[in-house]
Structures are given as structure tokens and as C-alpha cells.
Homo-oligomer: A and B are copies of this chain.
Amino acid sequence: MARANEENRRKPVTLSDVARAAGVSQATASRAINGSQRTVNEELRQRIFTAAEKLNYTANLSAQTVARGTSTTVALLVSDIADAYFSSMAASVMTAAEAAGLRVTIAVTERSVQREIELVRELRGQHARAIILAGSGYLDSDLTEPLVRELEMFEDMGGRVVLVSRMDLPFAGVDLDNLEGAKRLASALVRLGYQSFRVLGGERELVATRDRVAGFRAGLDGHGITLGDDRVIYSNFSWEGGFDAIQAMDDRVLADTGLIFAVNDEMALGALAGLRNRGMRVPGDVALAGFDDIRSLRNIVPTMTTVRVPIEEVGREAIARALEVGDGHQPRVVTAIVVLRESTPRLN
């Protein structure tokens, strides 16, 4: 197969090729094919389309972007695309984007603010239409200040910034009511009869950790139960984090625990593995609850109590906000609902 050697690569057909073939000017061809304000004579249109078809013309997106000065690409920044939560979100964002005629490029931040900054910078160069920044934010403002600056420059350029579930920065976004969700979960669990809780948090600096822990604490407070600081164990916001945290727990502490709330499902799953590894039965010896309701929960036994984040809606809303104009920074809040399952049975 001697196709496409470096030398004999046929150079792609351009708009002017099409125009020439159709016997019209480039301007007319452009107007016909991409439909501008101006109309073009029906017969010419036909000729142009026929020519385009015959030549197999496809518009050069980069050239269009340069000429128009704006692109139709939105960038989605996630911590880790292999994470079930983010990959579901990516799927929903892509579906919504598709419907809106937008392209999506995904980039991975590896949970590093530094990397986020680099990526935003690069995206400014790509003239992306919007940046959807998912993944939990950081509480440390020294850390995020340069990110904010970079994002502001992105907006200055005409781009739009949409935060997902991390309203720690002054931009538009769609927010999960982490606080309320966790609060209601706590409340529901108390009503099931649980009294002794431990919380598995992700990194301390994460907004999601803070909010979910705070919400859970508030929920318990409402029932007169105090969640001491010593009852919150911080590790990583991931499966391994959950697993390791359990491994590191003292036997007596574990024995004294009625229910473990992991601030996200991945951690809860890690914790589940960790508990089993230690010979504990769930929910027999200890009950377990998570947050997010990721898809892979459907595979486990016992079914797991969690707080469902309507991920489809999040994706849709994120794209909607990306397309909005104006400066509204009021986050659109998506409500999370408590889903009680077998991992937290009612106590007699």
C-alpha cells in the first residue's frame, strides 16, 4: 500500500478548490457552505455543494477558528478520566455538547493545581469557547490565586469559565449541594438508628471534603450527635485513599464504629475492600455509606447507601452555562438525593 507517504501526500482540498470547481468565487463558496448572513443563489448553491461533495471537501476547522476569531471547542478539565465519577460526567458533558454543536476536548489535571494552571494557559492559546473545570477545588487560596488569574485572562479573551462542584472561585458554575446532601444523609442514618460514626475524608484541602464533612456533621448535630474531629480521617479522595485509611485504623477504633461515611463512592469502595481485607463484614460489623452514586455501585453486594448526584443533569447544566453570556456568577445548584440501600440497614 503506497498510500500517504510523506512525500506524495495529496494536499487537502480547500475552499478555493471547491470554488474553482464550481466556477464561483471563494467568497461565494464560503457563504454557501457555511451559511453566513448573506444568501446565495439557489443554482450556485447547488453547483457549490455538488463540487464540494465530489472533491470531498471538509472545512479546515483551524482556519475557520483563526478567521472567525472564536472556536466551537469547549474544554473539560477533570482530575482523572479513569475515575468513574469523572468519566460519567465526561459522557454527559459530551452528549450535551454534541447537541449544542460543540466539540469537547478533555484534559486531565491529575489533581494538581499547577497542572490546572498550565492547561488553562494552553487553552487560552487554543481559544477554547469555554473551560469546564470539574474536580474538587482547593481551600488554600495561595494555591488557587494564580489559577484564578489565569482563568480571568481566559475570560478576558472572551472565553467562559464554568466550575463544576467547586464554587471556591469567582466564576459561573453548577454546584452540587454537597452540604445539604451530606446533611440529609446523616439525618437519614440517625433515623435508621446509627449512633457511632466515622468519616473518611479525602484530602483536607479539597472543597468537596470540607463541604461533605461539614454537611454530615451538621446533620448529626441536628440530632444532638457531635462528630468530633478525631472521628474524621483524612486520606486521598480515591479508592486507594479509602482502602488505606481503613488499613491504618486501629482495631479498637474500628470496633467502636457503627457506620463509616466515605465522602465519595470510590473511597467507600476502597473502604469496603479494606474492611473485607480485615475480616469485617458490611453491614454486619460496620455499616458503610458513600457519595455520588457512581455506576459501578450496581456491581457490589451489599448494595450501597449513597447520595446520588444527577450526573446527567450536571453535564447538561455545565454546557448550558458554558453557552450563556453575561457575567452571572450565581451557581446553578443541582440537588443530590439520599439513596438508602443494604449497606446501612435499619437497626432493629
Contact = CB atoms under 8 A, between A and B. Distances in A.
A80 interface: yes
A5 B127 CA distance: 16
Contact of A300 (B125, B157, B239, B299): B299
A325 B9 CA distance: 12
Contacts of A4: 155-158, 327
Interface stretch (A82-90, A206-214, A250-258): A82-90
Given A156-B10, A299-B269, A91 B81 contact: yes
Which bucket holds chain A's interface residue count?
35 or more
A91 B82 contact: yes
A58 B94 contact: no
A298 interface: yes
A222 to B, nearest CB: 32
| Most central of A58, A62, A152, A157 by chain B CB within 10 Å | A62
A2 B62 contact: no
A103 B94 CA distance: 17
Given A158-B4, A327-B1, A56 B153 contact: yes
A26 to B, nearest CB: 15
Among all A-B residue pairs, the 7 with the closest Cβ atoms:
A58-B125, A87-B87, A62-B65, A82-B91, A4-B155, A62-B62, A296-B296
B156 A9 contact: yes
A76 B125 CA distance: 21
Interface in A53-80: 56, 58-63, 65-66, 71, 80
A274 B271 CA distance: 25
Interface stretch (A104-112, A131-139, A225-233): A104-112
Interface in A315-342: 325-327, 329
Contacts of A126: 60-62
A174 interface: no
Contacts of A12: 124, 127, 157
B71 A82 contact: no
Contact of A82 (B87, B127, B272, B276): B87
Contact of A296 (B80, B121, B156, B299): B299
A42 to B, nearest CB: 25
Contact of A9 (B90, B94, B158): B158
A170 B2 CA distance: 12
A38 interface: no
A1 B83 CA distance: 35
Interface string A235-256: 0000100000000000000000
A273 interface: yes
10 contacts: A1-B170, A1-B329, A12-B127, A60-B66, A61-B122, A61-B125, A61-B127, A84-B87, A239-B298, A296-B299
A347 interface: no
B104 A106 contact: yes
Interface core residue of A4, A6, A60 (most chain B CB under 10 Å): A4
